[in-house]
Structure 1
Amino acid sequence: MTTPYRLHEDRLFPSDPGIRAIARELYGTVRDLPIVSPHGHTDPSWFATNDPFADPASLFIVPDHYIFRMLYSQGVPLENLGVPRIDGGWVESDPRKIWRLLAQHFHLLRGTPSWMWLGHALHEIMGIPQRLSPETADDIYDQIDAKLKQDDYRPRALFDRFGIEVLATTEDPLDDLRHHRAIKESGWSGRVLTAFRPDNVVDPEHPRFKSDLPELGRITGEDVGSWDGYLAALRARRRYFIEHGGCTSTDHGHPTAHTENLPQEEAAALYGRVANGQADAKDAERFRGQMLTEMARMSMDDGLVMQIHPGALRSQNPLIAARFGEAKGDDWPSRTEYVHALKPLLNAFGNERDLTIILFTLDESTYAREIAPLAGHYPALRIGPAWWFHDSPEGMRRFREQVTETGGFYNTVGFNDDTRAFLSIPSRHDMSRRVDCSFLARLVAEHRIEMDEAQAVAADLAYNLVRSAYKL
């Protein structure tokens, strides 16, 4: 006998009946608002070709490092989960076997946000009536596989069904944006934008920097051997992303939040060492910091919103990095300092009202001590939502508790799902709306704001702030 799956209508709401009733009422006002997904890593080719998703494993498991990270921690090899190897070595290619492996270890996700995201996707999107388990694995696989062959489950149909108003992918400066052009030329009404992620050509320690820097010069026709030519090449690619991909934002995943504002002669000399492969670790850090300031300078001209995502120690497991490459679950949060690190950038541009710089952190200790006070003062700064390891019910609660009193609601930018797993997008936004409504319900119950004010804030957090912050 299989156990039916139950997605409780009051999930994530407070246990106190009175506050829960307020949260439920608030949630009802924002539940069906359109989804705005301003930054993420879904594949634009899905929407360009609109081909059916291949199978349940490649849709739910292979691209989702939240899932395979947990299973790997319990001894499941990534090869057995179908994660591609750099060297083309063997990985499991039978999607049914991969799915059975997830079902066998599904209990490992209990209590994690992935448990809720997957439950929502299976129940709400796929209409699966039973829990995933070793006993139900094949039946559920067959149900999903059959639906993926239907037109209603193609990428564009799901995009529309999810109520997505706009979705942004992320590409590096060398991308030709062919998929974005194809989407635009197809006549489909779905709005899929790109975001400009220049790490591979601004970070001397990026594994592709040495090979990608000459290519940046080739595709722009600029002399990247010189500082002025290098900056001109980056400006050209930013224009290309705006014109061909509807780009409204840049994204910077630097190891730290360090910034510099060097005299241009000194910056040119530093770039000379970087471009010639003569930079040491100190030079690399200074150059990354200088480039954050240069990107802000460019944003003053072209209007792109800056996102700074520092503090992730990426690819820290050498075995995984060497065998599978980047973004394979072997990344860690790290201590990150902002007040002193951002001072050169803020001295130059922090008071600009026409510039938006969104700060993210994986170091929760900085929310109340640094990020909220900074954003509560500088007109250019906004606070990015709980990110990555903290994109979770408790992480979202901690975020609101630590930033609201100093930074307020209106120095935040709504929710950002930042996902590679397309079918998790509705669940992630639903989770954020439920947590925010629960936080607001407590303020109403404690007579700190009135109900009508809470309703206005709930709508702003779910929809209005993100559209405004990202110029959508």
Structure 2
Amino acid sequence: MAIINEDRLFPAEEKTRIIARAIYNQIKELPIISPHGHTDPAWYAENINFTDPAALFIIPDHYLVRMLCSQGYTHAELGIKPRDNTPYEKEPRKIWDIFVKNYHLYSGTPTRMWLDYVFSEIFGIEEELNEGSSESIYNHIDTKLKSKEFRIRNLYKRFRIEAISTTDEPNSDLAHHKKIRDEWDGRVIPCFRPDSIMDPLHESFIHEVNKLCSGGSEYLKYLDAIQERRFYFKEMGAVSTDHGCLEAYTAELSDTQMQGLFDKAMKGQINQGEAREFQGHMLMEMARMSIEDGLVMQIHPGVYRNHSSMIFKRFGRDKGVDIPVETEYVKALRPLLERYGHERNLKIILFTLDDTRYTRELAPLAGYYPVLRLGPAWWFNDSPEGMMRFRVSVTETAGFYNTVGFNDDTRAFLSISARHDMARRVDASYLARLVAEHRLTMSQAERVACDLTYNIPKESYSL
């Protein structure tokens, strides 16, 4: 018996389900545009085979890890290497056994749907994963991973990926992207993520700014150095920047004020309020630079990063301990929109984890300001319910064409096709309801579905 159903995520009511299936069939084979994500460019440069099922599914995926941690497992037991060189589990089968023993924990989650898709559609597994099937499924996956067809460049082609963006540190030399460009025709592009040089409270701020400016202490030279890095990223194929700030706050300060804050930051003496002003002004500077160089500006606010200082100290960032916070946009973005809201050469894509803001703030903002577009349901909202809430909440005010299609935003390469398939099914279901209610014709719905899947992401990200 198949572990996934062909009508998954379609409406239960038969008439609407038939419409959804027909819409989905128009888009299911379209190429994947992946304009924002966190896969490692080294994978493509070296054309790797993933080493084993634990290294593929569990160790890099904080969606999986955080659920297991919620049941008392430690990061070390799950194969994540500590910074302090204390012992951690290195045997992939033991890590896999913990995962399988607890697979029921993912019931009802998007993670379970992604995994079941990968097992069935990518590995051809048609039995349910449980403790009885654990060893045989592990061996089957392990054998597949070592084959030529599972080298990452072949999987890229198999998934029909047309373009994929990585997310890169501002001081990166982008050596892997150079190698990809020289050796292969796959389109793997960098994205400029300057958090470590824009957030004075970032643990690496002083080190990274010294690296950026060669030890310089002048604010204006710091700005020039950032602009040079942006130009370099664009030369290497980048189409966007990304900003992971705590809030969407923007402010306009004088060069003299910024020099004073910059001096404090470089001495490690800046306080939280001053850091907020510094980062708020730097978002303004990033918008100004985007007008000049054409890079699309993404803002991902509203996450309390590294909520557990103990885990951050032992294991570092991105280990499943980031928590959404309430996020305000209307007042926070007004200084930026007053200055740049009607610029023709600027695109800003807004994201949120606070989905209470969709209808009241984000849709009205994007429904007027020509520089704004709304990013899709993100991270904790990247689920069938979250995607549907997004569509229902923003479409009435912002429409479809002030959104940007789907971002998979993943570190787990094999989940890319699963995530895009889920998004296509949810959009087909939403559009099917509008057709069933005679709010759209079938031809209109099919056009919107194709645009959301392919044309809008390409246009929004200047691809």
- Give the TM-score of the pair, scaled to structure 1: 0.97
Of stretches 125-134 and 408-417 in structure 1, the one that deviates more from structure 2 is: 125-134
Is 1:318 the counterpart of 2:309 in the alignment?
yes
Match among 100, 104, 110 for residue 103 of structure 1: 100
Q: Deviations over 1:156-214 (max 9, x none)?
A: 0000000000000000111111110110111x211000100000001001111121110
Is 1:170 the counterpart of 2:170 in the alignment?
no
Partner of 1:140: 137
Partner of 1:389: 380
Partner of 1:193: 189
Of stretches 200-209 and 86-95 in structure 1, the one that deviates more from structure 2 is: 86-95
User: Residue 37 of structure 1 contacts residue 166 of structure 1 at CA under 8 Å; is this kept in 2?
Assistant: yes
Q: Distance in 1 between matches of 2:99 and 2:204?
A: 33
Q: Letter of the aligned partner of 1:236 in structure 2? A: E
Is 1:13 the counterpart of 2:4 in the alignment?
no
Does the residue aligned with 1:250 lie in a helix, a strand or coil? strand
Deviation, 1:242, is 1.2
Deviation, 1:5, is 4.2
Match among 211, 215, 234 for residue 215 of structure 1: 211
User: Residue 334 of structure 1 contacts residue 363 of structure 1 at CA under 8 Å; is this kept in 2?
Assistant: yes
Q: Letter of the aligned partner of 2:30 in structure 1? A: L
1:283-294 paired onto structure 2 within 5 Å: 283-294=274-285
What's the C-alpha RMSD, in Å, of the aligned pairs?
1.0
Is 1:116 the counterpart of 2:110 in the alignment?
no
Q: Distance in 2 between matches of 1:428 and 1:90?
A: 34
Partner of 1:375: 366
Q: Letter of the aligned partner of 1:142 in structure 2? A: N
Q: Letter of the aligned partner of 1:216 in structure 2? A: L
Deviation, 1:151, is 0.5
Q: Distance in 2 between matches of 1:92 and 1:424?
A: 24
Is 1:234 the counterpart of 2:226 in the alignment?
yes
Q: Deviations over 1:389-408 (max 9, x none)?
A: 00000000000010000111
Q: Deviations over 1:277-328 (max 9, x none)?
A: 3321111000010000000000011000000000001100122111111110
Partner of 2:443: 452
User: Residue 30 of structure 1 contacts residue 458 of structure 1 at CA under 8 Å; is this kept in 2?
Assistant: yes
User: Residue 192 of structure 2 contacts residue 241 of structure 2 at CA under 8 Å; is this kept in 1?
Assistant: yes
Q: How many residues align?
A: 463
Partner of 2:198: 202
Q: Distance in 1 between matches of 2:234 and 2:354?
A: 32
Does the residue aligned with 2:251 lie in a helix, a strand or coil? coil
Q: Distance in 2 between matches of 1:455 and 1:397?
A: 18
Partner of 2:400: 409
Deviation, 1:10, is 0.3
Partner of 1:424: 415
User: Residue 19 of structure 1 contacts residue 441 of structure 1 at CA under 8 Å; is this kept in 2?
Assistant: yes
Q: Deviations over 1:321-370 (max 9, x none)?
A: 11111110011110000000001111111111220000000000100010
Does the residue aligned with 1:418 lie in a helix, a strand or coil? coil
Q: Distance in 1 between matches of 2:344 and 2:407?
A: 23
Deviation, 1:449, is 1.1
Deviation, 1:276, is 3.2
Is 1:179 the counterpart of 2:176 in the alignment?
yes
- Give the TM-score of the pair, scaled to structure 2: 0.99
1:321-336 paired onto structure 2 within 5 Å: 321-336=312-327
Deviation, 1:81, is 1.1
Partner of 1:224: 216
User: Residue 206 of structure 2 contacts residue 265 of structure 2 at CA under 8 Å; is this kept in 1?
Assistant: no
Runs of 4+ in 1 over 4 A off after TM superposition: none
Q: Distance in 2 between matches of 1:449 and 1:129?
A: 38
Q: Distance in 1 between matches of 2:402 and 2:194?
A: 26
1:30-69 paired onto structure 2 within 5 Å: 30-69=27-66
Does the residue aligned with 1:121 lie in a helix, a strand or coil? helix
Does the residue aligned with 2:206 lie in a helix, a strand or coil? helix
Does the residue aligned with 1:166 lie in a helix, a strand or coil? strand
Structure 1 unpaired stretches of 5+: none
Q: Letter of the aligned partner of 2:430 in structure 1? A: F
1:317-356 paired onto structure 2 within 5 Å: 317-356=308-347
Structure 2 unpaired stretches of 5+: none
Is 1:127 the counterpart of 2:124 in the alignment?
yes
1:432-443 paired onto structure 2 within 5 Å: 432-443=423-434
Deviation, 1:130, is 1.0
Does the residue aligned with 1:111 lie in a helix, a strand or coil? coil
Does the residue aligned with 1:190 lie in a helix, a strand or coil? coil
Deviation, 1:386, is 0.1
> What percentage of residue pairs aligned between the two structures are identical?
53
1:57-96 paired onto structure 2 within 5 Å: 57-96=54-93
